[in-house]
């Protein structure tokens, strides 16, 4: 009788232990997945954790300011984390998971964070008030950061070498030449390696551009010509106004007059490039046969 009672006790103890372990495991899975962002005090998703579904402009009142060493982001979401409160200082967009923020020089420095895309309600439309951009002299948002919140016509004079860029707010034009000349690329998302746009260590000027309203009409003599072969050969097609849905093959382009924005997506979506000079082979911009919309761009006064 005593043996049977002892066996029953051991069995019940095993059941309780198993249920407890499953409950803890389930709770941990809930913490480390799902909608929002979960941050951890230690590497490898250990230590104290906190999960958020809403933007957090200041982590200090929550007791985890400058104490985050790893993080997990919900599937399909992107979050921006910043080193100062109110999304100031260095910022970087993260997705998926980061098991050790020391690898990217982000250990114990995060002070604010906010959702950029995915999950929950639709993200806020980008604000074009108080725009700012951060250039880094190393890839993946590392090295020495430099913030700008207005046009800079000559980065060479500031001895800048940019290899990655965080678009903090607004849309920005990055140009190879001083005074916003030469090849220019328009960005509204951060880029961890500017070699993607063949711009690593080649940016000479930057400035915010407006969007959020109709583009002012260009002068009547502005025009652009697209060719279906390189070096301005093949069938030419002229445009004097914006085209939001192109169904032609473009391999070279003549800028007859003005400044034009060419985009990969319809309705001026996707990756865009701003041109003020002709291009004999659009492969140099990785745009061969990829132009789906175009429009004239009014440059801001210098």
**pTM across the whole model:** 0.39
274 in a domain, yes or no? Answer: yes
180 in a domain, yes or no? Answer: yes
Burial 221-237 (b: 16+ CB within 10 A, else e): ebbbbbbeeeebeeeee
Task: Say whether both 48 and 96 belong to one domain.
Answer: yes
Domain extent for 233: 223-296
Task: Say whether both 45 and 108 belong to one domain.
Answer: yes
What is the pLDDT confidence band of residue 25, given thresholds at 50, 70 and 90? Answer: very low
Looking at residue 113, which CATH number applies to its domain?
Answer: 2.60.20.10
pLDDT (tens digit per residue) in 198-233: 888 889 888 887 543 333 445 567 888 888 888 888
Sign of CA dihedral 188, 193, 194, 195: negative
20 in a domain, yes or no? Answer: no
181 in a domain, yes or no? Answer: yes
Token code pair at residue 104: 């990217």
Q: What is the DSSP string of 7-50?
A: HHHHHHHHHHHHHHHHHHHHHHHHHHSSSSEEEEEEGGGEEEEE
21 in a domain, yes or no? Answer: no
Domain final position from 184, 209, 234: 209
Q: What is the pLDDT of residue 14?
A: 55
65 in a domain, yes or no? Answer: yes
The domain tally of the chain equals 3
Q: What is the pLDDT of residue 143?
A: 78
Residue 195, pLDDT > 80, answer yes
Chain mean pLDDT for the chain: 76
231 in a domain, yes or no? Answer: yes
What is the pLDDT confidence band of residue 263, given thresholds at 50, 70 and 90? Answer: confident
Task: Say whether both 41 and 113 belong to one domain.
Answer: yes
Task: Say whether both 267 and 233 belong to one domain.
Answer: yes
216 in a domain, yes or no? Answer: no
């Amino acid at each position: 009788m005593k043996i049977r009672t002892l066996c029953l006790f051991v069995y019940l103890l095993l059941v309780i232990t198993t249920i407890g372990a499953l409950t803890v495991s389930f709770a941990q899975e809930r913490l480390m997945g799902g909608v929002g962002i979960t941050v951890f005090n230690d590497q490898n998703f250990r230590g104290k954790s906190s999960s958020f579904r809403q933007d957090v402009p200041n982590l200090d009142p929550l007791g985890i300011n400058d104490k985050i060493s790893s993080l997990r982001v919900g599937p399909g979401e992107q979050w921006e984390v910043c080193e100062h409160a109110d999304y100031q200082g260095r910022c970087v967009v993260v997705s998926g998971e980061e098991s050790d923020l020391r690898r990217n020089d982000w250990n114990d420095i995060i002070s604010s964070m906010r959702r950029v895309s995915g999950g929950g309600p639709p993200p806020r439309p980008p604000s074009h008030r108080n725009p700012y951009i951060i250039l880094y002299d190393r890839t993946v948002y590392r090295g020495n950061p430099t913030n700008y919140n207005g046009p800079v016509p000559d980065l060479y004079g500031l001895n800048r070498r940019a290899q990655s860029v965080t678009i903090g707010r607004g849309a920005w034009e990055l140009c190879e030449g001083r005074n916003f000349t030469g090849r220019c690329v328009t960005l509204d998302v951060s880029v961890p390696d500017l070699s993607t746009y063949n711009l690593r260590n080649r940016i000479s000027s930057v400035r915010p551009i407006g969007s959020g309203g109709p583009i002012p009409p260009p002068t009547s003599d502005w025009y652009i010509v697209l060719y279906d072969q390189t070096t301005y050969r093949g069938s030419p097609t002229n445009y004097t106004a914006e085209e939001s849905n192109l169904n032609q093959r473009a391999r070279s382009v003549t800028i007859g007059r003005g400044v034009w924005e060419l985009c990969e997506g319809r309705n001026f979506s996707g990756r865009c490039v701003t041109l003020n000079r002709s291009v004999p082979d659009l492969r140099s911009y990785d745009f061969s046969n990829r132009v789906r919309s175009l429009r004239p761009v009014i440059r801001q006064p210098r």
